[in-house]
Amino acid sequence: MSHLTKLTTTISDASILETTLSDFNLDWNKDEFSLSNKPKYTIKQKNNIDVYFTWQNNAYTLETDLQFWLQSSPVDLFLNKLHQRYAYNLIKTKGNSHGFTAVRESTIGDIKLTFRRWS
């Protein structure tokens, strides 16, 4: 018996979600024809029981059957890593759009970014 689990995220920018999924080298695809006005994302799994990101209430929700989860880390750790990388990509994208350039990064346990803007 299948039990679909829905996990709420704070992910709201589709293009940054795409960048983040690609950063993890996941086999994913985008379905523009979802029930909402936002695309649905599918992470392919070898057992053909895929993981989905669907739009609900102003953010993406991760939908999966935990019994068939095949990602390299448990779902809670996966989501933590995904949120961290999403935040990293969001900050870099927003910084760049406001004329800032990342001049230094360090990732010893956590991520530190230093930005600079010339005026």
Domains of the chain: total: 1
pLDDT tens digits for range 4-46 = 899 999 999 999 999 999 999 999 999 987 677 899 999 999 9
Whether residue 1 is predicted with pLDDT greater than 70 in this model: the reply is no
Q: What does the alpha-carbon distance between residue 118 and residue 28 come to, in Å, rounded to a whole number?
A: 38
**SS3 (DSSP) at 105:** strand
- pTM value is 0.87
The parent domain of residue 41 ranges over 4-116
Mean pLDDT of 36-60: 94
User: pLDDT value at position 107?
Assistant: 73
Can you give the pLDDT at residue 36? Answer: 77
- Closest to 63 measured CA to CA, from 75, 74, 76, 54: 54
